[in-house]
Amino acid sequence: MRDTDGPVVGTLIRTATLVVRNARIYTTDSTRPWAEALACDGERIIAVGKEKAIDAVTGSQTKVLDASGRLVLPGFIDAHVHLIWGYELGTWIDLTGRPSLDEVQRRVATHAAVHPEEEILLGHGFDYAALRVSGLPDKRHLDYIVNDRPVLLTAWDGHTGWGNSRFVDRALEAMAAAGREIGEMQRNAATREPTGIFHRAFDITGLLPEVQRRRSLAGLQQTVSMASAVGITTAFDVQVNYEDLAAYDTLRKQGRLTVRIRAAIYHPADSPRSRYSDFLVACRRYDDDWFRVAAIKLYIDGVQETTTAALLEPYANDSTTRGETVYPEADFQSIVAELDRIGFQICTHACGDRGVRIALDAYERAAQLNGTSGHRHRIEHCENLAAEDIARIAHVGVIPCMMPRHSSPDLTARWREAVGPERTRRGFPWRELLAAGAELAFASDWPVAEIDPLIGIHEAVNRRTLEGDPSAHRVSLVEAIAGYTRRAAYACHTEANGGSLEAGKYADLIVVSQNLFDLPPERIREARVVKTVVGGQSVYRAADATGP
Ligand SMILES: [Zn+2]
């Protein structure tokens, strides 16, 4: 769907409400990439250029942001992030940092002792490879730590859940009530006993009242503030349950929303078509530049690490499988065609090359049936891609949304084992996608990886092969920044208002501690955002930053 609030470019010379001066402004606008200063009137930019030109619109009432010679960039746009997690979980056990099994157990035990009031314990971020158990962990690893209430820990991949026996019991109750298996529960092949692993854990948690009772605006406020502190001014929350959309609206009405949100409604595999009228009502209700709902998130497959991504050829570590798809292909095509017809931008999660192909086929088929829509359908992740589909993505006009950090060798041990060396070598082909003309958008996928776009930019620019050589897939600094600004704006239909610093667009901008263009590439990661401005208003300022 479209932006309603297009840019308004005044012809009269106005007095600025805010000017940014003494800056090295990289605009991302290829016709005039660099500027010294810019001026805003209210929430929009009115001029970008030389100090002198900006002085002419600076009055006695104008606020001045002196950037002290620092780099100013358009606010980052994270095209695939899950800020709603903060709302859904309220509090959780932090299992990031690749803890060992002992350490996971210690953190869970400590949290359980400190929080006797929590009726279910939720944790996030463990890495199965760091646990050093063979295969995936088991419910028994948790049972002797906590057996008085359910525990569910989700892996860093955001999909894989590891529950104790109490959690498995709750999940089985929920499935019995629903009359079907949910969440792709793993069972022991010989005994059929559930192991405690769920390949799509979020489908179960959405059904449990004890998880719903944890929902907390304070948790959402926390994740939104975290995004502001790393310079994100627009977040595409790619998977929000219909029932949770109102949380963003409430936060906004309370004046506490500091990041512009665009949301995609989560479409569980069993969503009846009768739900679509509700989805359309949400799009009409939440439809301005602070909070807009205009997309749908679907899954066609899972993740390589658990052999649930759909591949064209069998897995390297299990030749009996190519992974399953969430829908039979014909069903998926028909769902996509209907969602396209009624006006949604569709974001399909597809990690494997077969998943990507099925998504592309479905998008092409929808265009044949309904005409070319301009919805800019997307494929999320695209980690393995067949060579012939790289050109096709650009040709069909589908947007690949990819996460640079997911390709890092420290996160891909299990991924590489699953797909083998040849598909590893060809994985995450950013360079080829750009060369083919694809509008490649970058994103964090937080909480699956760090939210900081500067970490993503660092990885995109400095990507290396397993042998430690510069990767042929790495991109330039300009391309990496575009992935988090200009191209992300296109992926989110916000390019009329953001993604570059130009007169008429919103004054959504950041000040960075060091000039990324002067830093040796391997030190990009040391830079940090010191100031974030959204719509001409400061929403974040590092403790040691100067200026208003
Ligand atoms: Zn995601």
Distance 448 CA to ligand 1 centre (A): 7
How far apart are alpha carbons 220 and 85 in whole angstroms? Answer: 7
Distance 403 CA to ligand 1 centre (A): 9
Distance 504 CA to ligand 1 centre (A): 32
pLDDT at residue 545, as a whole number: 59
Distance 237 CA to ligand 1 centre (A): 9
Distances (CA, A) of 123 to 158, 187, 247, 267, 532: 11, 22, 22, 24, 30
Q: What is the H or E stretch that residue 521 is in?
A: none
Number of Cβ within 10 Å of residue 214's Cβ equals 19
Distance 253 CA to ligand 1 centre (A): 27
Token look-up 């829908």 returns 327
Distances (CA, A) of 380 to 80, 239, 303, 384, 491: 8, 11, 12, 11, 11
Token look-up 């040391």 returns 526
Q: Which residues pair with 541 in a beta bridge?
A: 531
Distance 239 CA to ligand 1 centre (A): 7
Distance 445 CA to ligand 1 centre (A): 5
Distance 442 CA to ligand 1 centre (A): 12
Distance 384 CA to ligand 1 centre (A): 16
Distance 41 CA to ligand 1 centre (A): 36
pLDDT at residue 203, as a whole number: 86
Distance 362 CA to ligand 1 centre (A): 21
Q: Which residues pair with 540 in a beta bridge?
A: 532
Distance 65 CA to ligand 1 centre (A): 35
Distance 354 CA to ligand 1 centre (A): 19
Distance 450 CA to ligand 1 centre (A): 12
Distance 88 CA to ligand 1 centre (A): 15
Q: Do residues 199 and 324 touch, judged by C-beta distance below 8 A?
A: no
pLDDT at residue 92, as a whole number: 85
Q: What is the H or E stretch that residue 342 is in?
A: none
Distance 82 CA to ligand 1 centre (A): 7
3-class DSSP assignment, residue 38: strand
Distance 81 CA to ligand 1 centre (A): 6
Phi, psi angle pair for 454, to nearest 5°: -65, -30
Distance 348 CA to ligand 1 centre (A): 10
Token look-up 């619109």 returns 57
Distance 35 CA to ligand 1 centre (A): 35
Distance 138 CA to ligand 1 centre (A): 24
First to last CA, the chain: 37
Residue by residue, pLDDT tens for the chain (548 residues) are 433 343 444 445 679 999 999 999 999 999 999 999 999 999 999 999 999 999 999 999 999 999 999 999 999 999 999 999 999 888 889 898 889 999 999 999 999 999 999 999 999 889 888 888 888 899 999 999 999 999 999 998 888 999 999 999 999 999 999 898 888 899 999 999 999 999 988 889 888 999 989 899 999 998 999 999 999 999 999 999 999 999 999 999 999 999 999 999 999 998 999 999 999 999 999 999 999 999 999 999 999 998 999 999 999 999 999 999 999 999 999 999 999 999 999 999 999 999 999 999 999 999 999 998 799 999 999 999 999 999 999 999 999 999 999 999 888 888 999 999 999 999 999 999 999 999 999 999 998 888 999 999 999 999 999 888 999 999 999 999 999 999 999 999 999 999 999 999 999 999 999 999 999 999 999 999 999 999 999 999 998 655 44
Distance 200 CA to ligand 1 centre (A): 12
Distance 300 CA to ligand 1 centre (A): 13
Distance 18 CA to ligand 1 centre (A): 36
Distance 278 CA to ligand 1 centre (A): 23
Distance 259 CA to ligand 1 centre (A): 18
Phi, psi angle pair for 232, to nearest 5°: -80, 120
How far apart are alpha carbons 246 and 261 in whole angstroms? Answer: 12
Distance 349 CA to ligand 1 centre (A): 8
Distance 335 CA to ligand 1 centre (A): 21
Q: In 35-185, which residue ranges form alpha helices assigned H by DSSP?
A: 51-55, 84-89, 101-114, 128-131, 140-143, 165-178
Distance 439 CA to ligand 1 centre (A): 19
pLDDT at residue 270, as a whole number: 87
Distance 444 CA to ligand 1 centre (A): 8
Q: Do residues 531 and 65 touch, judged by C-beta distance below 8 A?
A: yes
Distance 426 CA to ligand 1 centre (A): 22
Distance 72 CA to ligand 1 centre (A): 28
For every residue of 143-189, DSSP letters joined together read: HTT--SS-EEEEETTSS-EEE-HHHHHHHHHHHHHHTS--S-EEE-T
Distance 242 CA to ligand 1 centre (A): 16
Distance 347 CA to ligand 1 centre (A): 11
Distance 160 CA to ligand 1 centre (A): 12
Return all residues near 346 (Cβ < 8 A) that are at least 6 apart: 295, 296, 298, 336, 339, 340, 363, 375, 377, 378
Distance 193 CA to ligand 1 centre (A): 30
Distance 238 CA to ligand 1 centre (A): 7
- What is the signed CA dihedral for 390, 305, 235, 499, rounded to 10 degrees? -30
Single pTM value for the model: 0.89
Q: What is the pLDDT of residues 123-142, one digit of tens each?
A: 988 988 888 888 889 999 99
Q: Do residues 167 and 457 touch, judged by C-beta distance below 8 A?
A: no
Distance 156 CA to ligand 1 centre (A): 11
Distance 360 CA to ligand 1 centre (A): 19
Instruction: Provide the percentage of residues in the chain whose pLDDT is more than 90.
Output: 83
Return all residues near 107 (Cβ < 8 A) that are at least 6 apart: 93, 94, 95, 99, 123
